[in-house]
């Protein structure tokens, strides 16, 4: 089952700013995106659904401090990244 990542213009801007401030995380960030496309349920991503005001979104880990929130569209097997950053930024 192959998933495809769909990047919005807004997310691309957020990701650019994130990587500008955290260039040391670029390899981990790109690896996270590759794993998402190959297998979003890979254990190292720690995929989990969010609740409350973020209900309907999911989150994956880049590392222990940084996350990406996502929207899954199961019908088309698309993953749409929404936000990237530390815990307080994305939640």
Q: How far is it, in rounded angstroms, from Cα 12 to Cα 43?
A: 25
Residue 59's DSSP bridge partners are 48, 69
What's the pLDDT at 91? 87
pLDDT tens digits, residue range 31-82? 999 999 999 999 999 999 999 999 999 999 999 999 999 998 877 889 999 9
Task: Give the domain ranges of the chain.
Answer: 4-90
What's the pLDDT at 65? 94
Task: Report the predicted TM-score, pTM, of the whole model to 2 decimal places.
Answer: 0.91
What's the pLDDT at 30? 97
The model's confidence at residue 1, banded by pLDDT at 50, 70 and 90, is: low
The model's confidence at residue 19, banded by pLDDT at 50, 70 and 90, is: very high
Class at the top of the CATH hierarchy for domain 4-90: alpha beta
């Amino acid at each position: 089952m192959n998933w495809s990542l769909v990047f919005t213009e807004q997310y691309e801007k957020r990701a650019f700013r994130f990587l500008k401030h955290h260039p040391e995380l670029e390899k981990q960030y790109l690896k996270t995106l590759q794993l998402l496309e190959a297998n979003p349920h890979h254990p190292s991503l720690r995929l989990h659904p969010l609740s409350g005001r973020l209900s309907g979104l999911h989150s994956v880990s880049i590392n222990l401090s940084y996350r990406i929130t996502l929207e899954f569209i199961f019908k088309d097997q698309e993953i749409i990244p929404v936000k990237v950053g530390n815990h307080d930024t994305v939640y």
